[in-house]
Amino acid sequence: MSVSYAQLQQESPGIFTEACPSRTVLDHVMSKWGVLVLLSLTDGTRRWGELRRSVDGISEKMLATTLRTLAADGIVERTSYPEVPPRVEYSLTPRGVELMERVMPLMSWIQVNADDIVRR
């Protein structure tokens, strides 16, 4: 497991340069809304309306955009049921679960330290 930038670079030179795919993934996952949508999905499958309500302050437009991007990346799965009224459910893919296993420790740390950081 890498613990420094130097080690990452040694394993794969050119990592996180502008053209590197890692930069793209980083932008998608760490985007303002991406991480919050993913966080909400760690609870399990959610419907569109549930996501909209659970991610405080997100607009319909950004929810749609974010979900499409993450679905294209294979991190989120979209399942629509041909019913009336329509029902669409979103969940993490196995890859998404793996990703969030790495993100959750960070979120926990932020939760604990945020007050102290912002207050200063």
CB 112, min distance to its own copies, A: 9
107 binds its own copies (CB under 8 A): yes
Spatial separation of the C-alpha atoms in residues 13 and 115, rounded to whole Å = 37
Sole binder of its own copies in the list 10, 24, 45, 80 (CB under 8 A): 24
Given a contact cutoff of 8 angstroms between Cβ atoms, the answer to whether 48 and 90 are in contact is yes
Residue showing tokens 């329509």: 86
Spatial separation of the C-alpha atoms in residues 83 and 72, rounded to whole Å = 24
CB atoms under 10 Å from CB of 46, counted, come to 19
**Residue 79, φ and ψ in degrees, nearest 5:** -125, 120
Sole binder of DNA in the list 32, 97, 108, 113 (CB under 7 A): 32
Angle at 22 between CA 67 and CA 108, to 5 degrees: 65
39 binds its own copies (CB under 8 A): yes
86 binds its own copies (CB under 8 A): no
- Give me the residues that bind its own copies (CB under 8 A), please: 1-6, 8, 11-12, 15-18, 20-22, 24-27, 29-30, 32, 35-36, 39-40, 42-43, 54, 56-57, 72-75, 95, 98-99, 101-111, 113-115, 117-120
- Give me the residues that bind DNA (CB under 7 A), please: 31-33, 47-50, 57-62, 64, 68, 78, 80, 85-88, 90
